[in-house]
């Protein structure tokens, strides 16, 4: 998709691995960082990010834009994001298709929206507002969820496609979140991927989840599961080459394990691309 170049296979850069960056002890095609963690004036994280940026492209991934919420979009947040964009020139910026705050109170969670025409109109207008303010298109990510709304009128994939089309933004497709939701809510993950608007998918997330017995929880503290690797394959068959990122946020392993995940994703991509060109 225009504005979102293919940049290969990356990892989410998290504090336990910061010390590896200045000496070049970590290698990834690119790094994704949580935008909010760098909205500071000085300090070690910014020094690390500067070093990472000298080595590779970076992407800012936000967790509190509250795109689906009803509180006004925060001008101070967008101002801070603008400062980061100017300083680090990220390949792109992303946030989630969710809500997470109400009346100025943050839930610190990425909560799903009802999939209705009303919320579609609401969230698309807010994405449009953010894109105008930043002067560029963003990516929106499908979230994992543990509830659905009785008044939803369309499946999640249809909502995601419609929001992206109406706001003219890209999609960050988290295939682990698709798997978690498919298990929790009883739909077909393969059908979700089959129906996704392939031209708008500019990034893929891979992560691990936990099995709570009655449902899956998107904990980002495990290796990527086999069904999720299968979904990556399906997504690449559907979309072609897509920049792919490994997210690991708790019980973070040595960097080598992240590298092994990146290489497995790269190998799957290579196979799919060569099969597509036959
Ligand atoms: Fe994700």
- 85-113 confidence digits (pLDDT tens): 999 999 999 999 999 999 999 998 999 99
Give the range of the structural domain holding residue 183, as residue numbers without chain letter.
9-277
Is residue 192 situated within a structural domain? yes
% of the chain with per-residue pLDDT over 70: 100
Reply yes or no on whether the pLDDT at 172 is more than 90.
yes
Look at the pTM and tell me if it is higher than 0.85: yes
Would you say residue 206 lies in a domain?
Answer: yes
C-alpha of residue 22 to centroid of ligand 1, in Å: 26
Residue 278 has pLDDT above 90, yes or no: no
C-alpha torsion angle, residues 233, 27, 249, 202 (rounded to 10): -40
88: Cβ contacts below 8 Å, ≥ 6 apart: 49, 50, 53, 58, 60
Within a domain: residue 167? yes
Nearest-angstrom CA–CA distance, 142 and 157: 9
> Binning pLDDT at 50, 70 and 90, where does residue 181 land?
very high
Confidence of residue 276 (pLDDT cuts 50, 70, 90): confident
Going by C-alpha positions, the residue among 155, 187, 167 that lies closest to residue 124 is 167
Residue 204 and residue 228: Cα distance in Å, rounded? 12
Summarize pLDDT for 43-76 with one digit per residue, the tens: 999 999 999 999 999 999 999 999 999 999 999 9
Is 234 a member of any domain?
yes
- Confirm whether 92 is domain-assigned: yes
CATH of the domain at 233: 3.20.20.150
For residue 219, the CA-to-ligand 1 centroid distance in Å is: 10
Q: What is the mean pLDDT of residues 217-235?
A: 97
Ligand 1 midpoint to CA 177 (Å):
7
Residues with CB in 5 Å of ion ligand 1: 174, 205
Instruction: Answer whether residue 210 shows pLDDT above 90.
Output: yes
- 132 assigned to some structural domain: yes
Count the Cβ atoms, other than its own, within 10 Å of residue 54: 10
Count of domains forming the chain:
1
| Cβ–Cβ < 8 Å for 255, 26 | yes
Q: Please tell me the distance between residue 278's alpha carbon and the centre of ligand 1 in angstroms.
A: 32
What's the whole-number average pLDDT of the chain? 97
- Indicate whether 218 pLDDT > 90: yes
Does some domain include residue 2? no
Q: SS3 sequence, the chain?
A: CCCCCCCCEEEECCHHHHHHCCCCCCCCCEEEEEHHHHCCCCCHHHHHHHHHHHHCCEEEECCCCCCCCCCCCCHHHHHHHHHHHHHHCCCCEEEECCEEEECCEEEEEEECCCCCHHHHHHHHHHHHHHHHHHCCCCEEECCCCCCCCCCCCCCHHHHHHHHHHHHCCEEEEEHHHHHHHHHHHCCCHHHHHHHCCHHHEEEEEECCCEECCCCEECCCCCCCCHHHHHHHHHHHHHHCCCEEEECCCCCCCCHHHHHHHHHHHHHHHHHHHHHHHC
Tokens 């009128």 map to which residue? 153
1 within domain boundaries? no
72 CA → ligand 1 middle, Å: 24
CA of 207 to the centre of ligand 1 (A): 7
Q: Residue 277's pLDDT is what?
A: 83
């Amino acid at each position: 998709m225009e504005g979102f170049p293919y940049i290969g296979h990356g990892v989410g850069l998290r504090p336990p691995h910061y010390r590896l960056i200045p000496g070049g002890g970590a290698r990834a095609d690119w790094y994704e960082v949580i935008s909010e963690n760098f909205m500071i004036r000085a300090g070690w994280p910014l020094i690390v990010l500067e070093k990472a940026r000298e080595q590779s492209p970076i992407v800012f991934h936000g967790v509190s834009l509250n795109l689906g919420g009803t509180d006004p979009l925060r001008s101070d947040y967008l101002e801070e994001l603008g400062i980061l964009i100017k300083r680090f020139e990220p390949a792109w910026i992303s946030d989630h298709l969710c809500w997470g705050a109400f009346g100025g109170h943050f839930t610190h969670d990425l909560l799903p929206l009802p999939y209705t025409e009303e919320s579609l109109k609401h969230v698309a207008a807010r994405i449009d507002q953010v894109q105008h303010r930043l002067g560029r298109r963003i990516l929106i990510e499908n979230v994992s969820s543990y509830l659905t709304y009785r008044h939803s009128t369309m499946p999640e994939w249809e909502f995601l496609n419609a929001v992206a089309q109406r706001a003219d933004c890209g999609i960050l497709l988290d295939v682990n979140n698709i798997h978690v939701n498919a298990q929790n809510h009883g739909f077909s993950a393969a059908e979700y991927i089959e129906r996704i608007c392939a031209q708008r998918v500019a990034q893929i997330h891979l992560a691990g989840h936990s099995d709570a017995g009655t449902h899956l929880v998107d904990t980002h503290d495990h290796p990527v599961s086999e069904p999720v690797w299968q979904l990556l394959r399906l997504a690449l068959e559907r979309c072609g080459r897509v920049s792919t990122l490994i997210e690991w946020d708790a019980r973070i392993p040595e960097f080598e394990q992240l590298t092994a995940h990146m290489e497995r994703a790269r190998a799957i991509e290579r196979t799919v691309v060569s099969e597509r060109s036959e």
